[in-house]
Each structure stands twice: as C-alpha cells, then as structure tokens.
Structure 1
Amino acid sequence: MHSPTTTPTDHQLPQAIEPRNPGMELDLDWVRRAQANTSAIERRAKSLPGRRSVKKDYQAAWLLKAITCMDLTTLSGDDTEGRVRRLCAKARQPVRAELLEQLGMPDITTGAICVYHDMISTAVDALDGSGIPVAAVSTGFPAGLSPFHLRVEEIREGVKAGADEIDIVITRRHVLQGNWQALYDEMRAFREACGDAHVKAILATGELGTLRNVARASLVCMMAGADFIKTSTGKESVNATLPVSLVMVRAIRDYYDRTGYRVGYKPAGGISKAKDAVTYLSLMKDELGDRWLQPDLFRFGASSLLGDIERQLEHHVTGAYSATYRHALA
C-alpha cells in the first residue's frame, strides 16, 4: 500500500495535500466481484437525512464548509463572458462580506468554477490571483459521442487554455455492454491527455442502468487514473442521488483500502438546497472520514445551491430570511 505524503508537488491543485492517483492495471476479477445490494443501499440512503441533526452554529459551520467544496457552475447555451465574470466574482466573495465577518470566516471562496471550454480563458482571467481553480467540461460533454480523437484533442485544448481540472464524460455503452477494457483504455487516454490537470470522470449514473454498473464503472475509472469520480453531467433525467452516492463512495473506500490512494467524489445535478448539502457532507464523513471533507477530495457540482446556503447563513446571523432574488448568482 502506498504511504500518503502531506507535501504538495507540481502535480497537485493548490489546496491538495495528497499525491495523485496514478491508476493501476485493470483488475477484471476485482471489477466482476463488485456487486450492489439495491434494497440494502436504498434503506441506508433513506436513513441518511435523519442520521445527523445539526443546528445553530454547527449548521452554519457545515454550510460554510459546503461553500468551500463547491464547483460553482454555469453550463448554459446562452453563457456570456459577462455571466462568467459575475460568477467568478461570486466565487471570490460567495457570501456578503459583513455576514462572513460576523461568522468569523472572511476569506472563504468556492472550491472552483466550472465552465464550457469557450469560457476557460475568461474564467482564468477573472480569477487571476485568487487561487481558485478553473474546471472545464470536455470530451463532447454531455453525451460524449463525438469522435474519439476529437475528445482527446478537446482535453488538450482545455489544458492549453488554462483549465486546472477537466471534467470528462465516459462512453456509457462501454458500461452497458460490460466492455471494461474499452472503458479503461478510454479513461487512460483521457488521463494522459490531461497532463498535470486533474481529471474528473463523469459516469452519468442515471444512464448506467443498475447500481452494480455504477460500482464497476467507478472502480474501472479509478484504476485508469481518475482523480475524481462524478455522478452526472446535470443534463440527464436523473442526476445525483443518495443511493448512487453511497455506491460510489464505497467504491472509493475500497480503492483506497487496496491501493492507498485517495480519489475524490463529486455529486452533481439536482443539489440545490442547503439541507441536501449537509446530508451529502454527513455521508462523506460517515463513509470516508473527515479527510474527504476537503475541497481536494470532495466537490458539489452546483449552480443554485449557493443562493440557498447564503439565505440560511443570513438567517443564522440576523434571525430573518431574505428574499431569494437578493442572492442572485449571475
């Protein structure tokens, strides 16, 4: 087993203190042994929202933690440079300054900004000097069905444009057909094209059919060197869910137990309420421990979540809820 170090290297994001997952040879026996007891998983997931009740100062602390683990995202066909710049300003100052001062956390930022390729240079410029990474979706996002050589080249172009992280989408049919070698080879090629940029593998779990497929796809992507595994593009009919998250974080735990390398997790799509953020954070704490509550190993893919968190924090400080329109993001 690898012995982790706390010394950053040139191959890490600014906030990372873990060596990158280098991947390993494809272990088909391990992949095929991976199963998912759907009824047990659903029972456990159903219990999660009621397992931890955090109130007052503790709730505020968990919500502030959620902000630092957020990939503040805009992935709309009508994105403009002005919208991206406003979103980057929100990433730098996610909550009104006077509220953060009263909460004793004046300098927090979001974990990253996530945009389409065309907006990478705008985001890089807007975030200059902030230390906030820019993530870009790639590989024919969201369907991932463009020619393979173009998907690889899109990654290279994204890195060249200044993206620190690349969110790739896998080919779903490899999973549905059980073609694990093809999925592994694809992911290895994507990881190689990323170079020093960290790679998040989007599984599009709502299109994989079964929780067992989710478990196996998670393992294969980690074996191929994924730095993060991510639930969804946000464009599927079903995005992040607690049962899927439970399966994926347990695959991460198994991979860490076997290899000693920590892989990150990113639930994305449909997480818009502060209470849901607390539930996901408690899942990570219960299943993986406090180390996975840091932004180099956990992210929310979110666009509207920050607005609700800011409303809850304002209520904590002032005792009154403000109107939603006062917390517009862009």
Structure 2
Amino acid sequence: MTTTELHGFLHGLPGVDQVGAEERAARLASRSIKMSAKAEAIDLAISMVDLTTLEGADTAGKVRALCAKAVHPDPSDPSVPKVAAVCVYPDMVDVAVGALRGTGVGVASVATAFPSGRAPLEAKLADTRAAVAAGASEIDMVIDRGAFLSGDYGTVFEQIVAVKDACGDAHLKVILETGELATLDNVRRASWLAMRAGADFIKTSTGKISPAATLPVTLVMLEAVRDYRAATGRQVGVKPAGGIRTTKDAIKYLVLVNETAGPDWLTPDWFRLGASSVLNDLLMQRRKLSTGVYSGPDYFTLD
C-alpha cells in the first residue's frame, strides 16, 4: 500500500461521534453485576494484568520481587490466578525470564525508545532485537506521534512493519499514546494503521502522560478490532494502560469489552490491563468477597 493509498484509506474511515462514544461508555460503565459474576470478574481481571515496573531506579531485586508477585499475587491464597505478564525495560528482560521460567507468565518489554518513540529506526530495531534475544515473549513499541500527527502515516506504518519483523515469534503491542492524539477520529485511524501494519495488540498509553486510558478511547479501539476482524478474519488484542486503579474501574473495562467486541476478547490472550496499581485492590476485594473481612492495603506488597 502506497502512502497515498494509506492516507486515503485512513481518512475514508467513518468519523467517530465523540458525544455518542462518551455517552455509550458512560452507560456501560454504570451497569451493575451480580455478586457471583463479580467474583468471576475479579479473577478474570487479575489474569489479564500486565504487572509493570518502568522506572530508572529499577533493580534486579525489584524485578524478581515483582515476578514472584506475578506468579503468586497473594501468597496466602493459592487459588488466586497468576497475572498475564511482567513488563520491564529491555535490560531487565533476562532477569524476568530467569525468575518466570516455567510459570506460564509472559515477559513483555517496552522497546523502540519508550516512552517518546523518538529515535532512529535502527536504534528501535536494535532495542527490539536485544529484548527478544534475552527472552521477551512480547514487545510493547510506541509509535512516533509526531509523524502520525503531521500526517506522515507511511513512516509510522513502515516502522511498525519493521519492528514486527524484528520481533520474530514475540507478539507486538503497538502503543498509540492516545492522550496525545487529540481526537477519537485519530484514535480510530491509528488503531487501523497499527493493525494493518501487523500489530498483535493495540495499546492506549505508555502510562507516562495524562490522560492515559479512558473508557471512550478504549471503546473506539474495541470497535476497531471488532470491525478489523470482520473485514480480515484476523483478531487483534486491546490493552488499556494507565489510570486504572480500582476493581470498579477494571470491571467497567470488562463490561466494555463484552458489550463492544464480544466475549471472544474476554481472555488474557486478547485483552490486558496495563495497571499494576489495580492488582492490590483486586486482591483486597477478592478477599472481602471470600471471607467477608476487608484487608487493608498494607496486607499486600507494594509494587
């Protein structure tokens, strides 16, 4: 597809009714669920978490501790499901791989000059290859928002294609940084661009800017993956990241998934929560449901 064809395709997508999207997201978020369904939703949400540490002060010890929590979120209760993956910087991938070997928990790594995305393509590809060589099973890349917002869709498309190739067998999550895209129309265009370039997942945010994930933005992305599968037969996952802090928040997203994309997306293979801080609240609410006793935040380890 030429740059001209890509531009024509993206700008030929139906426009997003922003008011309608916000109203639908708010309406779905207001739904209540039965207590039995809440218990199932909490376990499902835990299994969808990408437990993340992306700080300059990260150490091998911190990563190992995070990996231990990923496998046994509540050491006193073995019935709690493990999370989907641990996400770290490329230089910590080997530590996470060593700690998680044989557990079934994935290792994701942000690459491609995270979080700005502003680096030569050669550097982004080297970053990606290094993370994959160290054992990462998932790569989270961030698009060049400057190129996208200036209408240089060809550059964004070509970079995603190149990074996808560098991933080998690892899955590629493409971060749109929706808080910088300004409009829901741009969110829809960026979603389709990423999917056509080979993304296995589309992800809202780096978590480093505000706003991060929102329900209307995630609604538009879920509509995009639904429509993309209908058009091509290929299913793509969605990951809202940043700003999801409570069990109530997490359940709102699960309702949104079910009602927009459908139950096929209600698995960790196709939907993730990039929200480490939500895990402790999920654990607290789970314990309250099972024991009737509310455990305070000090009961669980801080990430």
TM-score by length of structure 2 reads 0.95
Q: Are positions 1:125 and 2:98 aligned together?
A: yes
- What residue number does 1:174 align with? 147
Bigger RCO (CA 8 Å, 6+ sep) = 1
Following superposition, the deviation at residue 246 of structure 1 comes to 0.8
SS at match of 1:300: coil
Work out the CA distance in 2 between the residues paired with 1:55 and 1:85. Answer: 37
Q: Report the identity percentage.
A: 47
- Tell me if 1:83 matches 2:57: no
Q: Matches of 2:236 and 2:302 in 1, distance apart? A: 30
1:44 equivalent among 20, 24, 40 = 24
What is the root-mean-square deviation of aligned Cα atoms in Å?
1.7
1:208 alignment counterpart: 181
Shift of 1:32: 1.3
Where structure 1 has 5 or more consecutive residues not aligned to the other structure, the ranges are 1-22, 101-105
Q: Distance in 1 between matches of 2:217 and 2:151?
A: 19
Determine the structure 1 residue equivalent to 2:47. 68
After TM superposition, the structure 1 = structure 2 runs for residues 16-165 of structure 1, keeping only pairs within 5 Å, are 27-34=6-13, 35-51=15-31, 53-98=32-77, 100=78, 106=79, 108-165=81-138
The secondary structure found in structure 2 opposite 1:125 is helix
CA contact (8 A) 1:87 1:329 kept: no
Local SS of the residue matching 2:30:
helix
Q: Deviations over 1:211-232 (max 9, x none)?
A: 1111001000100000000000
**Aligned counterpart for 1:278 among listed residues 244, 251, 266:** 251
How far is 1:57 from its partner? 2.3
Q: Is the 8 A contact 2:71 2:82 kept in 1?
A: yes
Partners of 1:86 and 1:329 within 8 A in 2: no
Q: TM-score, normalized by length of structure 1?
A: 0.88
Write the deviation string for residues 249-299 of structure 1: whole angstroms up to 9, x where unpaired: 111111111000000000000111001110101111111111101111110
Matched, 1:261 2:229: no
Deviation of residue 70 (structure 1)? 0.9
**230-239 or 74-83: which moved more?**
74-83
Q: How many Å separate the matches in 1 of 2:210 and 2:65?
A: 28
Inter-CA distance 232–219: structure 2 relative to 1 (3 Å threshold): same
Equivalent residue for 2:169, pick from 188, 192, 196:
196
Structure 1 residue ranges, 4+ long, deviating more than 6 angstroms after superposition: none
Give the distance between the partners of 1:148 and 1:205, measured in 2 at CA.
21
Output the CA distance in 2 between the equivalents of 1:124 and 1:130: 10
**2:274 aligns to what SS in structure 1?**
strand
Structure 2: any 5+ residue segments left out of the alignment?
A: none
Question: In structure 2, which of residues 192, 199, 218 is the aligned counterpart of residue 245 of structure 1?
Answer: 218
Q: Does 1:316 align with 2:296?
A: no
Whole-Å separation in 2 of the counterparts to 1:237 and 1:118: 26
Deviation at 1:96, TM superposition (A): 3.9
Q: How far, CA to CA, are the matches of 1:282 and 1:178 in structure 2?
A: 34
State the alpha-carbon separation in 2 of the partners of residues 31 and 262 from structure 1: 19
